[in-house]
Amino acid sequence: MAGMNILFASSEAAPYAKTGGLADVCSSLPKALAKENNVKVVLPLYSSIDLVKYGITEVMHGCCVHMGNCEEFYSLYHANESGVDFLFIKFDKYFHREGIYHTKAGEYGDNPFRFSFLSKAVFQVDKDIGFIPDVIHANDWQTSLVPYYLKKDNDPYYKNTSSVLTIHNIGYQGIFGTEFIEYAGISVDDMHDNAFESFGEVNLLKGGIAFADKITTVSPKYAEEIRGPIGSSGLHEILNKRGADLSGIINGIDADVWNPSTDRDIPYNFSVKSMGGKAKNKQELQKKFGLTERPDVALFGFVGRFADQKGIYLLQHAIERAMNEMVCQFVVVGSGEQEYEDFFAGIADRFPGECASYIGYSEELAHLVEAGSDFFVMPSLYEPCGLNQMYSLAYGTLPIVRATGGLDDTVDNYDESTGQGTGFKFSAISGQALFDTIGWAVSTYYDRPQHYKAMQLRAMGKDFSWIQSAKEYLELYASIEKRDGEIYV
C-alpha cells in the first residue's frame, strides 16, 4: 500500500540531532518510505542544530500546546530532505541547552516534562500544517506518550489515525517520579500495572506499549529476547500481553550516507569491483591515529557509546590481552562513561604505534574507521539491532559480534571448513570469549587470506537497504484496524 500519510515522532533524527542509532533510523526509514508516501518527522529544535547549514527556516510562530494548567507557545521550523518534511519544534525553555538529554553533570531533571511536551506538540503540529496522518510512528520512551494521547483524547481530527511504537532499546524506559503527570495529562486512573505504573513510579515506555496499536522492535531476534525476563528489563509481562501486536523488523542503512563507493567522509572510495581504495583508507587511518603504517597487520576498529550495553568491559579485557599476545592494531572511537573514557584515553601510551583512540563524537572518524579497518568489534551484552555491524559489512570490514539481537540476525558466522560467512560470532559474556574470537579472526586474516577476501566481498554484496524493511512497515501500518476507545491490556 502506497500513498499513506505517515508522521514520525522522535527526539532525534540524523544529521540534525544524534546520540545513536535512533537518529539514523528516524531519518533513513522516513526517507525510504517517502519514495511512495507522504512522510513528516517531528523533532525538537535543539540549540545545537545549525539552521544555516541545513537550510532550516521558520514557518510558523505563536503556536500553542496546552499542558497541565498552562499554555506553552512554540515556533515551527522546517527543512525538506530527500522528500521528507522535517518539522522542528522551537521551544527554548526545554530545548535551548547544551545537551539533548544530559550534560556531564547528569540527566536533565525536567526530561519527563520536556518529552511529554514534545509528544503532545506532535498533535498540534499536524493541525498547524493541516496534515492528517494515517499513522503516527512513535520511537522509544521519549515519544511513548503519543499512542496514549491518541487513544485517550479521542480527537475526531484523528479518527482514522493509528499508532505504532518502535522500541529501539528497552534498556531505556523513561522512568520518573509522579510529579509531572498533571503537566503531561496522564490520568491517575492510568497509573496501574497494565499501563504506566511501575514500582510506584511512571514508566513511559510501558505506557506506550499498553496504548500503541502496534509495537515493533528493530530486529526479529530482539523481539524474541524482550519477551523473556532477562532481555526485557522487566517489561516482559506487558509485552507478552501485547504479544499479538508485537513484531521485529530489522533496520536498514542509509545508502546515501553509508556507501563506500560514494562516501564523502572517506579519502578513497571503493567497491566490490575496485577494492584498491580500502587499503589506502587503512593507511590513512593508521596515519591519522599515529599507528605504524603497515598494510599487512590485522587492524580492528570500534566505534560506539561507552556504555555497559556495548560490552565495553569485555573489550577492555580483550584489547589488553590481544595487544600483548597477537600481531594486531586497534582503533577505538567513542565517548560515554568516564571510567571507560579514561581507560581508552590511556591506551595509546601503553601500546604506542599499535593502539589508539579518539574520545568524543566524530562522524567523519566513524566513516574512516569503517572504511580502513579489517575487522570491527561489537561485543554487546545486548543489541536491539546495531547499525555499525551493517556499516562494517557494507565496507568489507568483517564484524566480530556477540550473537545477540540484531547482531545475530545480520552476521553469518564464519565456517572454517567451507570459508562461508560474513563475520565472527561468540556467545558467552566473557572477555575470554571475545579474546578467543579476535584470535580466530587474526588467524583467518594471516593463515586463510583467501577465506578472508571471499568473506569481504560476500559481506559487501549483502543487501542492507531499507527496501524490504520499509515494505514490512507499510504492510504493518496498513494492517491496523483501529479499535476506538478499546484498551488493549
Given candidates 14, 22, 33, 400, which one binds ligand GLC under the rule CB under 6 A?
22
C-beta of residue 375 within 8 angstroms of C-beta of residue 397: yes
| Contact set for ligand GLC, span 213-242 (CB under 6 A) | 218
- Span of 29-37, 156-164, 302-310, 440-448 interacting with ligand ADP by CB under 6 A: 302-310
Residue whose C-alpha is closest to residue 305's, from 344, 361, 257: 361
Q: Is 363 in the site for ligand ADP (CB under 6 A)?
A: yes
Angle at 269 between CA 266 and CA 273, to 5 degrees: 150
The grid coordinates of residue 73 equal: 507557545
Q: Is 371 in the site for ligand ADP (CB under 6 A)?
A: no
| Contact set for ligand GLC, span 424-483 (CB under 6 A) | none
* Binding partner selected for residue 333 from ligand ADP, ligand GLC, none, CB under the kind-specific 5 to 8 Å limit: ligand ADP
| Contact set for ligand ADP, span 21-80 (CB under 6 A) | 21-22, 24
Q: Is 401 in the site for ligand ADP (CB under 6 A)?
A: no
Q: Is 423 in the site for ligand ADP (CB under 6 A)?
A: no
The nearer residue to ligand ADP, 181 or 377, going by C-beta atoms, is 377
- Rounded Cα distance between 184 and 484, Å, is 22
C-beta of residue 423 within 8 angstroms of C-beta of residue 411: yes
Q: How far is the CB of 62 from ligand ADP (least distance, A)?
A: 36
Residue whose C-alpha is closest to residue 374's, from 344, 396, 356, 394: 396
Given candidates 89, 138, 303, 315, which one binds ligand ADP under the rule CB under 6 A?
303
Given candidates 386, 396, 423, 431, which one binds ligand ADP under the rule CB under 6 A?
386
What is the SS3 assignment for 136? strand
Q: How far is the CB of 367 from ligand ADP (least distance, A)?
A: 8
Segments in 46-103 forming alpha helices (H): 51-54, 92-95
Residue whose C-alpha is closest to residue 204's, from 126, 124, 113, 106: 113
- Rounded Cα distance between 407 and 401, Å, is 6
Q: Is 161 in the site for ligand ADP (CB under 6 A)?
A: no
* Binding partner selected for residue 144 from ligand ADP, ligand GLC, none, CB under the kind-specific 5 to 8 Å limit: none
What is the SS3 assignment for 260? coil
The nearer residue to ligand ADP, 125 or 303, going by C-beta atoms, is 303
Burial class (CB in 10 A: 0-12, 13-18, 19+), 419: middle
Given candidates 383, 398, 421, 451, which one binds ligand GLC under the rule CB under 6 A?
383
Q: How far is the CB of 10 from ligand ADP (least distance, A)?
A: 13
C-beta of residue 473 within 8 angstroms of C-beta of residue 2: no
Q: Is 169 in the site for ligand GLC (CB under 6 A)?
A: yes
Euclidean distance between the first and final Cα of the chain, in Å? 29
* Binding partner selected for residue 126 from ligand GLC, ligand ADP, none, CB under the kind-specific 5 to 8 Å limit: none
- Rounded Cα distance between 369 and 282, Å, is 8
* Binding partner selected for residue 303 from ligand ADP, ligand GLC, none, CB under the kind-specific 5 to 8 Å limit: ligand ADP
Q: Which residues bind ligand GLC (CB under 6 A)?
A: 20-22, 25, 168-169, 218, 251, 383-387, 406
